[in-house]
Structure 1
Amino acid sequence: MTTEDADADAASKHVLQQLSDTVYACSSLSPLSSRPGNFVYRGVLVHPLSAKDEDPIRTVIIKHCTTSTSEDAPDHIASRADGPNFEELLLNSIAHFSPLTDPSILIKVPRLNLLDEASNIQVLEDFIDTTGLKSMLLSPEASNLLPSSLEAIGFALGSWLRAFHMWAAAPEQAALRAQMWQSDPMRKTKYLFTYHGFLKVLEMHPEVLEGHREILEKIRDTISKEYGRPSTEDDENLGLIHGDFWSGNILLPATPWREPPLLDVPNKLFIIDWEFAQFGHRSNDIGQLIGDLYERKLYGNVETVAPVMEGAIRGYGELSEEMAFRIAIYVGVHLIGWYNRRPRKGPKVVPSHVILEGLTIGRDFIIKGWEKDRKYFENSALTSLFRRA
């Protein structure tokens, strides 16, 4: 047994033991994902729990973190100095957030059922019989969805995200925001995964970087200083953000999305994984969603993402020109960052000429966004972004 396997085995036994005397005692745990020091399971409850107007609750999602300080956290994965307290406050607060007035769409976040701070264990609502938006878009069945349905999914996500940003900026959430202003390490982690690394990728492709290093270094350094400043509310574009808003953290029921919906049966979406929530630039959220979708078209030739992307931009609504350019910069950074996430072997390996094309587009999005070259973007894949500005 490897050290990693031994750690995983010890973690699952610890979780089972810690929950054994609670109503969330589990007969078994199924690993869903893990990275060193962080484990996510689906637990089968020993005793199903009754739920108002719903079927009994038979499974839960369990998250367990064994690293408690940013120094211990591997791969620059930071954890908050105050443990999971902020996520508890956020999830409990957002449980009362119902932004969309359209009765045909229901968007939910997971309910936090139990928080064991001493053991770093969270028990969360399990959205059963769901699939990730990412998996859905990549599946053969995606082509059976009408473009109007795909655009409606994007529109619902964009509308929800805009409403969430506005809800988080309201006076009622002042205490929630204040929690994030205390040297939040998730901002550092977000920076390390995005703006910190894009230039290193381009350095491995000098034909893309040649003639552009100086301006790209200036952009990186300027945004690095922004991340290093203490959080304040002086900038209207800063606020509480999800921090990891991509298609893998968006779930849909296994039942097909219907457009128009069936009578009294709303279409549903679920937004999960709030660990990266932070006080940051709102362009990070909408930019990550757009970048994630466009990445799949650019590098994977997945055409079904286009109407989702258009719908998300339309749903998010009117943008200032400054915000539109900042979103474009983030999308460019995201497209370059794909290189570190790319498939290394197997049938999904991307040809080198496609990689270079994607990196070049990412580079140009960053530079043209910084230079506020609106004419360039009006003839780009982000043209609809600038119709909203």
Structure 2
Amino acid sequence: MENKTEEIKNAVRKELEGTEYEVSSLTPLSGGTANFIYLARLRKPLSGGVNQVVLKHGEAYVALHPDFKLEMVRCNIEEEGLRLLSQFPAVISPPYEVGTPKLYHFNSQTSTQVQEYLPNATNLKAYALANFQGPTTASTKPQCLQLGQSLGRWLRGFHNWSDQPDNQGLHKLFAKNTAMRSIKKAINYDQLLGRLSMFPAILQEHKGTLEQIVAMATAELGDESKLSVIHGDFWTGNILIPNAPLDSDEAVPIRIIDWEMAQVGVRAEDLGQAIAELWQLKLYKQINAALWIIEGFVSGYGKVDSDFMFRVLIHVGAHLICIGSTTPGWGTPEDGQDIAKAGRDVLLNAWKKNAEAFRGHDLQHVLG
């Protein structure tokens, strides 16, 4: 595997020789699993003085798990999607300016992209783990609320923008990403039944309800006329922010990255995935600031009906059971079981639309 990784790195370097994107150095970037991603220093700056970019190279498999095969169309969808999304203005909620990365170049023959690099950036998950563990000061709460609100406003703006008649090209493009849509449903819902054997004491007695939830998720995808444009992988790892204090007086750029899972799907799942991953920071690492970001995020997204928000919570619960309970390196098997139990309770109460169960709950703000 190591030899293959080095081989791809050298091939990407050679591919760009003689172009304006010829590199003097390539440094692997962490955070992604599906693709080979590098920070590239260019031999000559681009117009505007840009001398560092992100190189993203895709293969027909998951980079960290070569036996997991992926369709290459995902790379073309991300490339064309970023070009279309360049028409979607950044959402400015001072001090935050939230948008998508600029795409400089794409080679459709090799599936190599050159994207904007956000200097000194980290993802929101890593930022929270580095800065919000332990006691937090009173000044942290308004900063976290503001950050969450900016992300919620961006997501609502993106959803609304993609619905406009002039932007239906995005819907048609993302509708082609059926393979990634199937993977998303399999990971988040079909896998619920597989977790019965992993957590029998927690889940077995609810097998019938879990089967109904899986059937619902399957039926939702059966009528494409009812599906909408979604990011498809909207979580803390795909939100890049500067690795600096939040109390900045200057504009703070935030970039929403990794668009190869973009699809037409169930809109509540974009919110549910982000909320689930933020809540995991509280459940595993006792990071209270994550709850403030959730509160701001829901507020920023704006008013929706209760059915929508119960569907959000269903996804939160499913995500915790299927993904959060087995996140590598986060805790002990007992911790994973506690996460599965928390997810189960949210899932079942959301399925029953039991609003009372969320009064005083960590996720009470999701229902308003």
The two structures share one fold, judged by TM-score above 0.5: yes
Q: Secondary structure at the match of 2:190?
A: coil
**Inter-CA distance 36–256: structure 2 relative to 1 (3 Å threshold):** closer
Do 1:99 and 1:164's aligned partners in 2 also have CA atoms closer than 8 Å? no
Establish whether residue 283 from structure 1 lines up as the match of residue 271 from structure 2: no
Tell me the residue number matched to 2:207: 213
Tell me the residue number matched to 1:338: 324
Larger CA deviation: 95-104 vs 204-213: 95-104
Establish whether residue 366 from structure 1 lines up as the match of residue 363 from structure 2: no
Taking the TM superposition and a 5 Å limit, the aligned residue runs for 1:144-155 are: 146-155=140-149
Q: Residue 325 of structure 1: which of 283, 299, 310 is its match?
A: 310
**Inter-CA distance 373–103: structure 2 relative to 1 (3 Å threshold):** closer
Tell me the residue number matched to 2:123: 132
Task: Give the counterpart letter for 2:328 in structure 1.
Answer: R
Tell me the residue number matched to 1:241: 230
Q: Secondary structure at the match of 1:44?
A: strand
Measured after TM superposition, the shift of residue 217 of structure 1 is 1.3
* Aligned length, in residue pairs: 362
**Inter-CA distance 298–34: structure 2 relative to 1 (3 Å threshold):** closer
Alpha-carbon distance in structure 2 between the residues aligned to 1:57 and 1:331: 39
Do 2:281 and 2:290's aligned partners in 1 also have CA atoms closer than 8 Å? yes
Task: Give the counterpart letter for 2:208 in structure 1.
Answer: E
Alpha-carbon distance in structure 2 between the residues aligned to 1:185 and 1:201: 23
Do 2:326 and 2:336's aligned partners in 1 also have CA atoms closer than 8 Å? no
**Inter-CA distance 318–77: structure 2 relative to 1 (3 Å threshold):** farther
Measured after TM superposition, the shift of residue 230 of structure 1 is 5.4
Once the two structures are superposed, residues 304-328 of structure 1 have per-residue CA deviations (whole angstroms, 9 ceiling, x without a partner) of 2111111111111112111111000
Do 1:83 and 1:117's aligned partners in 2 also have CA atoms closer than 8 Å? no
Q: Secondary structure at the match of 1:48?
A: coil
Once the two structures are superposed, residues 273-323 of structure 1 have per-residue CA deviations (whole angstroms, 9 ceiling, x without a partner) of 111111111111111111001111112222221111111111111121111
Alpha-carbon distance in structure 2 between the residues aligned to 1:335 and 1:375: 21
Do 1:132 and 1:251's aligned partners in 2 also have CA atoms closer than 8 Å? yes
Establish whether residue 266 from structure 1 lines up as the match of residue 215 from structure 2: no
Do 2:76 and 2:111's aligned partners in 1 also have CA atoms closer than 8 Å? no
Measured after TM superposition, the shift of residue 224 of structure 1 is 2.4
Alpha-carbon distance in structure 2 between the residues aligned to 1:214 and 1:170: 40
Do 1:288 and 1:330's aligned partners in 2 also have CA atoms closer than 8 Å? yes
Establish whether residue 61 from structure 1 lines up as the match of residue 54 from structure 2: yes
Establish whether residue 114 from structure 1 lines up as the match of residue 96 from structure 2: no
Q: Secondary structure at the match of 2:246?
A: coil
Superposition RMSD in Å: 2.3
**Inter-CA distance 199–299: structure 2 relative to 1 (3 Å threshold):** farther
Larger CA deviation: 102-111 vs 135-144: 135-144
Measured after TM superposition, the shift of residue 185 of structure 1 is 1.1
Establish whether residue 48 from structure 1 lines up as the match of residue 45 from structure 2: yes
Tell me the residue number matched to 1:176: 170
Taking the TM superposition and a 5 Å limit, the aligned residue runs for 1:184-195 are: 184-195=178-189
Tell me the residue number matched to 2:240: 251
Task: Give the counterpart letter for 1:200 in structure 2.
Answer: G
Establish whether residue 198 from structure 1 lines up as the match of residue 192 from structure 2: yes
Give the share of equivalent positions with the same residue, in percent. Answer: 31
Task: Give the counterpart letter for 1:239 in structure 2.
Answer: S
Do 1:77 and 1:189's aligned partners in 2 also have CA atoms closer than 8 Å? no
Which consecutive residues of structure 2, in runs of 5 or more, have no partner in the other structure? none
Measured after TM superposition, the shift of residue 168 of structure 1 is 0.9
Measured after TM superposition, the shift of residue 141 of structure 1 is 6.0
Which consecutive residues of structure 1, in runs of 5 or more, have no partner in the other structure? none
Do 1:201 and 1:339's aligned partners in 2 also have CA atoms closer than 8 Å? no
Task: Give the counterpart letter for 2:122 in structure 1.
Answer: T
Task: Give the counterpart letter for 1:283 in structure 2.
Answer: A
Once the two structures are superposed, residues 224-247 of structure 1 have per-residue CA deviations (whole angstroms, 9 ceiling, x without a partner) of 2333x2522xx3xx3111111111
Alpha-carbon distance in structure 2 between the residues aligned to 1:161 and 1:35: 21
Do 1:110 and 1:271's aligned partners in 2 also have CA atoms closer than 8 Å? yes
Do 1:246 and 1:292's aligned partners in 2 also have CA atoms closer than 8 Å? yes
Q: Secondary structure at the match of 2:70?
A: coil
Measured after TM superposition, the shift of residue 76 of structure 1 is 4.7
Alpha-carbon distance in structure 2 between the residues aligned to 1:373 and 1:37: 38
Task: Give the counterpart letter for 2:178 in structure 1.
Answer: D
Alpha-carbon distance in structure 2 between the residues aligned to 1:28 and 1:110: 21
Alpha-carbon distance in structure 2 between the residues aligned to 1:12 and 1:33: 15
Alpha-carbon distance in structure 2 between the residues aligned to 1:322 and 1:174: 26
Q: Secondary structure at the match of 2:51?
A: strand
Larger CA deviation: 119-128 vs 357-366: 357-366
TM-score, normalisation: structure 1: 0.86
Tell me the residue number matched to 1:78: 70
Measured after TM superposition, the shift of residue 37 of structure 1 is 7.2
Measured after TM superposition, the shift of residue 204 of structure 1 is 1.3
Tell me the residue number matched to 1:310: 295
Once the two structures are superposed, residues 110-158 of structure 1 have per-residue CA deviations (whole angstroms, 9 ceiling, x without a partner) of 1111010011111111111112211111114664662100111011101
Tell me the residue number matched to 2:86: 95
Measured after TM superposition, the shift of residue 377 of structure 1 is 2.4
**Inter-CA distance 340–323: structure 2 relative to 1 (3 Å threshold):** same
Task: Give the counterpart letter for 1:334 in structure 2.
Answer: H
Alpha-carbon distance in structure 2 between the residues aligned to 1:24 and 1:39: 17
